[in-house]
Structure formats: C-alpha cells, structure tokens
Structure 1
Amino acid sequence: MKKNFKMLFLISLLAVAGSIIIATGQAEASTLYRGYNPNTGEHLYTQNSNEIPSIVKFGWKNEGLAWSAPDKGIAVYRLFNPNNGGDHFYTLNTNERDHLKKSGWRYEGISWFSGGTVPVYRLYNPNAKSGTHHYTVLASERDVLKRAGWRDEGIGFYANKLVPEGSWVKAFEAKLYAQYKVTTQKYEYIGNNSWEVWVNEYNTGNQSYVTVNSATGNFHG
C-alpha cells in the first residue's frame, strides 16, 4: 500500500471511450491497481487508488492489484493514444517513448519505477485496435494470452513481490484460526483480489490450504 509521505498529483481528465481517466504526474512507492475496459479491451495500471473507482463509474471493471512498485529505480513512462478509441502504453525505453510522442501519443509522465526481482511480462495483441498491450506478473496469465494469439514481448520491467496488507489480513487470519485452528505461513497473489494461502499446521505442498478474496474477506478451501 502507499507509504506515508507527501505526494503531489498532477490531475488531468482524459475522455477515453466514454470514460474519464485521472492521470498521475508523479510516481510514488505503492501498490499498483489494475482496471479493465470491456468495451475497448484496454487495461489501465495506476498507483492512484482513486483512479480505479473513478473509471469504474464509466463501465470499467476493477481487477484488483497488479504489482508493487519500488520508490526508486528506472522510470516507467505512461503514454495515451487518443486516436484509436483509447489506449495506454507503459515503457522504460526513452527511445520508444519519444517515438510514440512523435506519432501522436500523449505523454502522461512517469507512472512508477521499475525495480525489484519480479518480472512484469509485456504482451502485444496484433489483432486489436485498442488495448493492444497487456502487462502482468502472473506467468499463468501470460501463457493463457500467448495461446490466444498474443505476442510475448518479454519482460517490460521489474516489480516487488506483492504482500498482503490492510485490515482485511488481520480479520481473515482471526476468522481462519477461529474456524480451523490454523495460522498462516505464506500468501501468493493470483489476481482479481485473490490470494492463495498456506498454513503452518498442514504441509499441502504446492496446493494452498485456502484461497481468500481481499475485497470481500470470503475464503474457501
């Protein structure tokens, strides 16, 4: 989650396929959030937790957490193409950034920083007119898209491993212990606010003991 230090946001309102995007102009160390526009196929990745609720009002879907960005490292630039129904693009390559700017893309500044050990995979859909690029830390999601015809463009940048944070963690662990008398050992994020959880009392190998949704607090074995 966001660290407790002051941060100024440069807010710009952009009309994108009937929605409004709030663009941040300065990066901070925080969790990145992910939104999806089912009308254009576009994904939006942002550190601004207020940006996702804003676009959900216009038909976007909240897909939860994306990854964790460090507070320093190599700058990741965010660009927007206003000419194809709405499309955001993220890159740490200054040559790529400058080429897109010359091609009519709108430069929206530094979104976050690349750093850490977790690869963020970049994929390209040659058949899409908008939402042409996708970014994910989940190898399983990358492989599904590759089988669907997306082109694997390798590692776009790096991130930190997501760790469970917030009041939901304490509430979930208390409920888990009350019902099953087990304590958590590790968490693995699998997308859409869902976490696989292993416990100390049972050796389940590669299979998690339960899966919990951080948005609702619901869990199942």
Structure 2
Amino acid sequence: MSLRDATPAGARQGDRRQGTQRDAWYGAAAPGTAFDWPRTLVARGADRLQAAHLRHRPQEARSGALHCFLLDCSASMRHDGQLARAKGQLLALMQEAYQRRDHVALLCFAGDVVELRLPPRRASAWNDDWVAPIAAGGGTPLALGVQRAQQLLAKHESRQRWLWLLTDGRSNESPARPAAADVACVMDFERARTPLHRARQLAAQWDARYLSA
C-alpha cells in the first residue's frame, strides 16, 4: 500500500501528459500553480472531464501535501497483530511522504483520549523506535479522533489535505467526514472471524478511498 495507490487515477494520467499535447488540452496553467485533482474531480461530478472543471492549487501548496494519519490504538487493535501491522503500514507511508517532500501529522486515539504524537511538519526519516511507545488500550473514541483531525487540517488550507484513518472499525460511532479533508482514505485492519465491516461502511459514508490492509 502506498500514497500512489490512493492517488486519483486522473491525477496519475494527467502527470504523464507532456509538452504541447498537455497544454493543448488543459490550457496553460497560471504560473506557480499545480492542478488540484480532488477539487477538479468534485467540480466534474458525473460529467466528462472538461477544461472548465480544472482547479489549481495556490503556489504555496506546491511544496507538498499534508498527510494527517489517525491511528486507532484501542484494545481491539491488539488482536491478531493488527496494531503491529498498522504501525508497519504507517512507517511505510511516512517514508514515502518523506521521499515526496510532503508534510505529515500523527494523531493516536484510544480509551477516551486523542494524542497529537506529531504536529504537522515536513516528513523526515522514521523508524520503529519512533512508533514503539504507542500503546493500545480501552475503547475507541473515533468521533473525538476525527474531530481533532478536522481541527488540525482546518489550519492548513494552503495545502492539499489528506486524512488517513488506520483502524479495524470496531466502534459504535459513525462520525461525519471532516470537511477540511480534501482526500480521505480508510485503511481497514479488521481480521475478526466474524467481521463487522464497519471500516468499509465508514469509507462508503465518507465517499473515501477504502484500502484493505
């Protein structure tokens, strides 16, 4: 699983267009801007993509996106190595963000608290020692975690804001998608013999990308 796996297909195709062929279809982009694909796809809706649908990011956003990772550290995530797998996936995603020169933030939730483990900053090299202190326990304050993510993302309008929820979905709460998230991804770590599929349901409710881990 990688950041590229969650990138809109149109963005990957657009990145491959070169030279005058790209300019002829897209039109000349304003100096210092880049295409904002999530907003472009929203503007397009169900219609065929047209030049009028294109949206651009402001110049200051070109330095990279902000990936906010919301990690479920509740008791249920300790079963079958789910939390260990989530940590491994988190490290891989952060390493890729580092290579892309993006910014990252990490929120962890368990029991009745949400901890900001990493304030928004440029991604740097990560290792297992950094995430080792994250301990699981208690309930799953999903709504509180999503609320904190919304507050964090709302402060960074100049960047393309991604929310990554890493969870097994074992929560009775079903919060609304954070309005500040330009792109939302739900990574499902559920391995129960009788799965509840709540993470998948939440992804559908959010119109988010669903990734089975």
Q: Tell me the TM-score normalised to structure 1 length.
A: 0.23
Greater RCO (Cα-Cα under 8 Å, separation 6 or more): 2
The structure with the largest helix share of the pair is 2
The structure with the largest strand share of the pair is 1
Q: Tell me the TM-score normalised to structure 2 length.
A: 0.23
